[in-house]
Amino acid sequence: MKILPSNSTLLVIDVQEKLLPKIYENQEVMKNVIWAIDLAKTIGIPMLLTEHCPEKIGTTPAIIREKFEEIDIVTKTYFSAFREGNLLEHIQKERKQIIVAGTEAHICVQQTVLDFLELGYKVFILDSAVGTRNPIDKERALQRMQQNGAEIITKDMLAFEWLEKAETELFKIVLKTFIK
């Protein structure tokens, strides 16, 4: 199944100040999360951000948080964003494809993804924009999510599927800004 811009929502899960320094290759993960957010904004894809127990592990770094409207930030205490009961209220009903980035892949990302899949959503994990403290946890989480129906994608896959076609102004902007 292709990722369609009219059917997509970008979900950034728990990229938080006190956790981020412990994430393996954290600067690369952070760079790719920002890339996905900026691409979504450029193309016009709705976005949501979650923060897990921000009073304990900090809020999202300002460089990411400022890219979201306050209404699109969901605070949670359960590992799965669904357990709070309000994540689905933020997703437009017709959008059944969820593009996921964030941390940690084997905890909050995985539990949220599994819940989305159970509800019939199509979930795409942006491989380079998810992280964990231990690389083996990321590897196993990606395998498990994929075995349950999620698709693992790259940045190019996301960009070109959201674009759908060449020879448009948007294509030229995205090519110049995001495809290196």
Each residue's pLDDT tens digit, 157-179: 999 999 999 999 999 999 999 99
Average pLDDT, stretch 142-171?
A: 96
CATH number belonging to domain 5-178: 3.40.50.850
Angle at 30 between CA 158 and CA 120, to 5 degrees: 45
What are the φ and ψ backbone dihedral angles of 78, each rounded to 5 degrees?
-75, 155
Burial 12-49 (b: 16+ CB within 10 A, else e): bbbbbeebbeebbebeebbebbbbbbebbeebebebbb
Region 53-77: mean pLDDT is: 94
Q: What angle do CA 18, 98, 179 make, to 5 degrees?
A: 80
Contacts of 165 (CB under 8 A, 6+ apart): 171
State the pLDDT at residue 88. 74
